[in-house]
Every structure is written in C-alpha cells, then in structure tokens.
C-alpha cells in the first residue's frame, strides 16, 4: 500500500521539470511552519494514524506473541506469552506458505503483462474511435470493474463447473477442465483480467487524452500514419500511466484473495493455502492462530513492498539513464 501512495507523486514530477523552481520557494517558506498548517494536515494525520500506522503496529505486535497452553491435553485456560520471531520462522518453515508465494509470482508474471497489453490495446483503439462510440465502449469495458470480485467469481464459477457450464456443453469432451489442478490458476487469471482490464484501460485513456494535439499534427506533417503515431508518440507518452497500473497490479496480485476463496468451494484444486493472503486468513480465523497469521501478513506486506518499490526503482533508473 505504501507504494501506491508514492507512485502518483513520483510519476508526474518525472515529466515536468519546470516545477523545480516553485518547490525550492515552498521549501524556504515551510522551514518555519505556522500553526495553520497543522489544521490542514490534522485530518490526514489522524486518519493515517488510525487507519494505517496503528493497525500495522498492532499486527507487528501480535506477530511477536504466542498462545501458551496448560492443563491435561492443553485444554486448560490458555495464556499469551512473548514468542520473539518464532512465528516468523514457523511461517517460513511451512512449505505451503512458501509455495503460495511462488504461485502468486507465477500468476503475476503471466497475468499482469497480459492484462496491461490488453488494456493498452483497448485504450489505443478507443482513442481512434469517434467520440460517441468511444463513450459507450469505454463504459462497457469498465462495467466489470463495477461488479464486486466475489460476484464476478461466482458468475465465472458457473461457467467453469462441468455439467452446468454452457462452455463445456458446447465444446463437449474437447472442453478443458477449468477447475483442474493445472488450469485453475489461469482460470482465476482470466477472472482477474476480466475484472480489471477495463479499469486499467480507463487510466491509460485519461493519460492519452492529456497528450497535446500539436504533437499529432506535427507527426502528421512529418508523414506518420496511425501505427507510427501509436508506437512513437502515444505509447511513450502513456508510460507513467502504464507504470502506475503495473504497480497497482503487482500489489493486487500479491493480495489475491476473494477469487480463490470463492472458487475453493467448487474445486479441491484451490487449497486453503493457495495464496499467501488466503493462508494468513485461514490461520487467523479457521485455525484461531492470529499470532501466526499476523506474522504471515507482515511477511506478505514486506514482500509486496519490496516488489513494488523494486519495480519502481527499476523503471525510474531506466528513465534517468535515458535522460
């Protein structure tokens, strides 16, 4: 989540070099803040503290505790003791938990590029269309995003279950087993693409709209066709939007939860440790071990943070080198 807060502020500043002068003037003034500043910051700080800092602190604190059992068969009144990093070592020793990271990484490596290429293609196509049609199509591509993930998964679930699915009905024995061990990850990827491609498209479209018309005119005068305009002007200029959507998608991938949870009922191929998030949820609420779950959640947050910051620094380093 930390990465999401940072990325929008980073990306525009990369493009607008003229802002440097005004920031230094601001810096001089803000060296001696007056009280009024706090009134403006206050609401944000309060929310940030209660919705962000406190829960994270509490999770870290919980992850350092463990339940101690007493009495015959351990059924006596349990107590809470300090565990240090025991929960972390226990979590990392669980093969299922480590495997779940491998699974979402594989998922992300395939699903994120597919979705973004699709979103970019749709956005470029919409940009070419006349305004009236573009509005209608934009709305319909965006529509799946308005459907909650749980509903979307139930809906797709019906299309996957053999015996009910119209797809298997039509294809007969040629139909793949959508919920089988080898396929279920990609069936989930399909749902996620369906849900979010339109949303990402919208962000790219917004960036496309902000490209000055003069650039197109200049390109036209230089003899560029629609293909060259797209490749040489549009795609390079929507780069910030692509970076942003990619970071969103990386975080979303790590947090994969609702889709596997719903599909779990339909197929044994989705286990309770299918994704890191599902694994932590299962420990917290089904196994009643919130301390281990907290440790897993912290590990997940660290990995998600490292991945999204890693991606951002990779992209910005390239940018710097290009300049």
Partner 1 sequence: MPVRRKVLTWGAAAAATPLLAACGEQAGAARLTKQAPRRDGQKVNLVFWTWVPLQKAVALWNKTHPDIHVELQIVPNGLNGGYQKIHSSLKAGSPPDLAQVEYHTIPEFMLVNGLTNLSKYGVDKLKDQYVDWQWSQGVFDGQLHAMPQASGPMGFYYRKDIFERCDAEVPSTWDEFRAAAIKIKKRAGGSLIGSFAPNSALWFAAFSWQRGARWIRTEGDTWIVDIDSEASREVADFWDGLLRDELVLAMPDLTSGWYRAAQTGRMASWPGPQWGDALLRGNTPGTKGKWRVTTLPQWEKGDNASANQGGSATAVPQGSRHPVEAIEFAHWLNTDAKSIDLLVEAGYGWPAARIDLGDSALGKPDAFFGGQRYNEVFQESDGNVDTSWKWAPTTSQSFEHIKDAMGRVAAGNGTLVEALGDIQGRFIDDFKAKGLKVRSA
Q: Is 285 in the site for partner 1 (CB under 8 A)?
A: yes
Q: Would you say 221 or 265 has its CB closer to partner 1?
A: 265
Only one of the segments 14-22, 58-66, 230-238, 245-253 lies at the binding site for partner 1 (rule: CB under 8 A); that segment is 58-66
Restricted to residues 10-29, the positions that interact with partner 1 (CB under 8 A) are none
Q: Is 58 in the site for partner 1 (CB under 8 A)?
A: yes
Q: Is 273 in the site for partner 1 (CB under 8 A)?
A: yes
Q: Are 188 and 152 in contact (CB under 8 A)?
A: no
Residues contacting partner 1: total by CB under 8 A: 49
DSSP letter for each residue of 287-302: S--HHHHHHHHHHHHH
Site for partner 1 (CB under 8 A): which residue of 287, 306, 310, 314? 287
CB of 172 to partner 1, least distance (A): 13
Is 124 strand, coil or helix? helix
Q: Is 77 in the site for partner 1 (CB under 8 A)?
A: yes
Check residue 20 and give left, alpha or beta (phi > 0: left; psi -120 to 50: alpha): alpha
What are the C-alpha distances in Å from 1 to residues 191, 247, 313? Answer: 23, 10, 16
Q: Would you say 65 or 250 has its CB closer to partner 1?
A: 65
Only one of the segments 18-26, 54-62, 105-113, 194-202 lies at the binding site for partner 1 (rule: CB under 8 A); that segment is 54-62
Angstrom distance (rounded) from CA 233 to CA 222 = 13
Task: Give the bridge partners for 66, in sequence order.
Answer: 81
Q: Is 201 in the site for partner 1 (CB under 8 A)?
A: no
CB of 188 to partner 1, least distance (A): 16
Site for partner 1 (CB under 8 A): which residue of 12, 15, 42, 226? 42
Angstrom distance (rounded) from CA 285 to CA 301 = 19
| Strand extents, DSSP E, the chain | 65-68, 79-82
User: What residues have CB less than 8 Å from 229, skipping those under 6 apart?
Assistant: 216, 219, 220
Site for partner 1 (CB under 8 A): which residue of 9, 18, 25, 39? 39
CB of 239 to partner 1, least distance (A): 39
DSSP letter for each residue of 58-97: HHHHHHTEEEE--SGGG-S--EEEE-TTHHHHHHHH-HHH
Q: Would you say 8 or 76 has its CB closer to partner 1?
A: 76
Question: What is the end-to-end Cα distance of the chain in Å, rounded?
Answer: 29
Q: Is 163 in the site for partner 1 (CB under 8 A)?
A: yes
Q: Is 38 in the site for partner 1 (CB under 8 A)?
A: yes
| List of residues contacting partner 1 (CB under 8 A) | 35, 38-39, 42, 45, 49-50, 53-54, 57-58, 61, 65-69, 72-75, 77-80, 90, 158, 161-164, 180-181, 265-269, 271-273, 282, 285-290, 292
């Amino acid at each position: 989540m930390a990465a999401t807060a940072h990325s929008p502020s980073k990306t525009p500043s990369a493009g607008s070099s003229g802002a440097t002068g005004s920031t230094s003037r601001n810096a001089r003034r803000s060296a001696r803040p007056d009280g009024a500043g706090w009134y403006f910051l206050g609401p944000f700080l309060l929310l940030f503290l209660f919705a962000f800092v406190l829960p994270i602190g509490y999770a870290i604190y919980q992850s350092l505790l463990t339940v101690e059992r007493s009495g015959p068969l351990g059924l006596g009144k349990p107590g809470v003791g300090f565990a240090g990093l025991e929960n972390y070592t226990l979590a990392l020793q669980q093969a299922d938990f480590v495997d779940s990271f491998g699974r979402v990484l594989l998922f992300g490596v395939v699903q994120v590029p597919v979705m973004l290429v699709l979103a970019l293609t749709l956005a470029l196509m919409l940009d070419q269309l006349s305004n009236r049609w573009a509005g209608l199509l934009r709305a319909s591509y965006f529509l799946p995003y308005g459907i909650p993930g749980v509903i979307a998964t139930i809906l797709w679930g019906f299309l996957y279950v053999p015996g009910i699915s119209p797809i298997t009905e039509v294809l007969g024995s040629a139909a793949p087993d959508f919920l089988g061990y080898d396929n279920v990850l990609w069936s989930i990827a399909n749902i996620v693409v369906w849900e979010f491609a339109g949303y990402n498209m919208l962000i790219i479209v917004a960036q496309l709209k902000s490209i000055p018309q003069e650039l197109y005119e200049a390109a036209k005068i230089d003899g560029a066709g629609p293909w060259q305009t797209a490749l040489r002007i549009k795609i390079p200029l929507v780069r910030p939007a692509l970076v942003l959507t990619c970071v969103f998608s990386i975080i979303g991938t790590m947090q994969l939860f609702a889709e596997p949870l719903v599909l779990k009922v339909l197929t044994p191929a989705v286990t309770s440790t299918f994704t890191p998030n599902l694994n932590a949820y299962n420990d917290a609420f089904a196994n009643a071990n919130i301390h281990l779950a907290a440790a897993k959640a912290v590990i997940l947050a660290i990995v998600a943070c490292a991945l999204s910051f890693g991606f951002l620094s990779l992209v910005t380093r390239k940018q710097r080198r290009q300049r």
